[in-house]
Amino acid sequence: MSTAAPPPSLPPLPAAHPGEGLAAEMLARLFEHARPLVDALFAQVTDGVTLQAQDFSLCFANPAAARILGAASPEELLRKGSPVVFERYEVLDAAGRPLSIGQMPGRQVISGRSVPEMVLRFRDKRTGAEHWSRVSAAPVRDAGGQVVYAVNVFREVTEVMRTQERLSLLAEAGELLSTSLDLESTLAATARLLVPRLADWCAVHLAGDTTPSRQVASIHMDPAKLELARRLAERYPTDSQAKRGINHVMRTGLPELTSDITDAMLVAAARDEEHLSLLRELGLRSMMVVPLNARGRTLGTLAVATAESLRRLGQDELRLVEELARRAALAVDNARLYAEAKRAQARQEVALEAGRMGAWEWDIQAQRVNWAPALERIHGIPEGSFGGSFEDYQSDMHPEDREHVLTSIQRVVAELQPEHHVQYRIILPDGRVRWVEAHGRLTLDEHGRPSRLTGVCTDITERLALEEDARRLVREQAARAEAERARQHTAELLASLEKAQAELAQRAQELSRSNADLEQFAYVASHDLQEPLRMVASYVQLLSRRYKGKLDADADEFIRYAVDGATRMQALINDLLAFSRVGTRGKELVPVPLERSMERALSHLHLALKESGAEVKVEPLPWVKGDESQLAQLLQNLVGNAVKFRGERPPCIRVSATREGDTVTVAVEDNGIGIEPQYYERIFAIFQRLHGKEEYPGTGIGLSICKKIVERHGGRIWVESTPGQGSTFRFTLGTATAPQA
């Protein structure tokens, strides 16, 4: 526990308000009194909390802060201050840019700048291990508005950030690989994603069908190292039968991970002195080689290594790279399948076309069509049986295609277009339908008139089927890749959802624990503080009574300040006590008549109502399930505020209830000063006030008590208002039936 820390000394008070000095001194005493409680409370909190003074020194730190900032204990952290962090860690921002000590949020806040919450990444200089922390810094100001302290809160977010990084890496890789046209450059881009996010070096090798494997990408943080690696590979090519490394993984299809590469390993692997010195120069620290496996075959490897960053690759990183490798392998496999299909198609086309092509000629002037015997075979008629007229030519044409064939011929002959090119269907004598493609060229006679149309006709039925097959293959592969991506995506989502849920549950548990702690603390502190405060208050009151007018004017004023300070503090402590009692001292919820709580509230407010000339209209209120005295307190706070925050007019307050199912909504409506919409939420938080104490007295606890009471009753509370016109506070409760008399 951090008891060694001195209590923060309060800032010097401006001389113009000597009376506040007394109150400040009292506060310091009270703080000292409460110090063990503060320490005990913050020791329970899992977030790191530090208090930093104007000279940047730390005057309070809890154990969690010491752990997160790399100190052995809060005492060490307080002694050495924030440099201890920079001694041990390289501090980076979320994007991985190094941060200087002056950029730490606490220092910025003390220097008068406001900083948004930020994520810091701490990289251990010795081990390269990293952790992330979300940091927020808030200023504490003195009466003159000067920043005197910064409160820093550090929350460990390593797991969340890791998951986020991992997901975004996989998503980016998935994107890259699914749009792959040029496989090798895509694989290089994928390798580039890993450096420097995960490692300092990454290489992709692809297995050849017959040739040995080939490196298709090699990415390194430091180009000099890249050159070194290339020299090494050239002078000492890896043995294809090696027991470890890329070739081994290529053969076995099993991943390899070496988390810590020791010098002894280098010595064992080196073939001679020079090899050893090159290996040492490369300075690898951690390495893994992961196979690109698809459909039971190893298509290549993905190798990653760390060196200068000192990071250590472990099981987590292995899982991530394996996941990435699975996607890359799928892309490689698809690309290969596609290329194979294309090659096969080309081969088949050549073979087929040779046998399924026939020449024809149309003598336009003689109105005769000649077909080569191959063409008669294509049309399924016996050799020499083609009649030769234009009608004969059209006779087996598919009726749906006839028009567009004739249009093309027409264009060539009438408009003297040089080329005729059409695809159409023919119906063979046995009823089968075939696709043919005709190419023709026009020749003119010596007068420039169309004389002949000569060309070839090819049966393209198989080619079209093959093309359709290839298209289907591509579609199927795309669908397969898509399904795989969707499956992975769902799995990732599920995993991160589970993690988030677990984290949420843990946070909720921590929160309820620290809420309970806080409540307990508030109770004990305010209870314990009552006694010394009562003493202070009665003595200053005594002072005031006995010496008023007997000392000089200044003394009278000081005494007035002291009395005022003590009275305010008493009000604060009473309210705090009431606040902490809502959760701890509540009674069981039973059917109660809300009207009785209302009467109690009004009788407590009797004096204030009378003085202000308020008119209170209470409509019939139902029976509800509740704690009668807490409901009275709730109504008293709301009606009390309606009186306190009145405008020029005498207060006019209406309390009503509407029922819907088993819920009743109670409304307390006033014609007071109203509230701007941006404060609707904030006013329900503890100590939040919209006015100075001179304008309207109060502690800022009333509405938070209301909220706590309503929530304890399972309801909710909210406000609507028109500034200058009035406000309506509404809350819900569960209805109950009145017991039969």
Binding region for ligand ADP (CB under 6 A) = 641-642, 645, 670, 672-675, 683, 689-691, 698-704, 727
The residue type at 339: A
702: three-class secondary structure by DSSP: helix
Question: Which residue is it, tokens 């307390």?
Answer: 668
Q: Are strands 214-220 and 118-124 parallel, antiparallel or unpaired?
A: unpaired
Contacts of 134 (CB under 8 A, 6+ apart): 117, 118, 119, 120, 154, 155, 157
In contact, 154 and 118? CB cutoff 8 Å: no
CA distance 2 to 61: 7
CA distance 310 to 125: 8
| CB of 604 vs ligand ADP, minimal distance in Å | 15
The residue type at 449: R
Q: Judged by CB, which is closer to ligand ADP: 326, or 712?
A: 712
Positive or negative torsion for Cα 37, 43, 44, 46: positive
CA distance 597 to 404: 92
**Angle at alpha carbon of residue 353, lines to 350 and 359, rounded to 5°:** 140
| CB of 688 vs ligand ADP, minimal distance in Å | 6
Q: Judged by CB, which is closer to ligand ADP: 408, or 699?
A: 699
CA distances from 131 to 123, 127, 180, 343, 394 (A): 7, 12, 35, 51, 80
361: three-class secondary structure by DSSP: strand
Q: Helix, strand, coil: what percent of the chain each, to 5? A: 50, 25, 30
| CB of 16 vs ligand ADP, minimal distance in Å | 26
Dmax of the chain from CA atoms? 144
| CB of 317 vs ligand ADP, minimal distance in Å | 51
Q: Please state the separation of Cα 556 from the chain's center in Å.
A: 60
In contact, 11 and 146? CB cutoff 8 Å: yes
| CB of 708 vs ligand ADP, minimal distance in Å | 11
Peptide bond into 196 cis (omega under 30): yes
| CB of 90 vs ligand ADP, minimal distance in Å | 46
Question: Which residue is it, tokens 């809060």?
Answer: 74
**Angle at alpha carbon of residue 472, lines to 352 and 380, rounded to 5°:** 35
- Which pair of structure tokens corresponds to residue 33? 């009194």
| CB of 537 vs ligand ADP, minimal distance in Å | 20
CA distance 656 to 731: 11
**φ and ψ at residue 418, rounded to 5 degrees:** -70, -30
- Which pair of structure tokens corresponds to residue 65? 């802060």
- Which pair of structure tokens corresponds to residue 623? 């029976």
| CB of 659 vs ligand ADP, minimal distance in Å | 24
| CB of 584 vs ligand ADP, minimal distance in Å | 20
Contacts of 504 (CB under 8 A, 6+ apart): none
Q: Judged by CB, which is closer to ligand ADP: 78, or 683?
A: 683
Q: What is the CA radius of gyration of the chain?
A: 43
In contact, 117 and 108? CB cutoff 8 Å: no
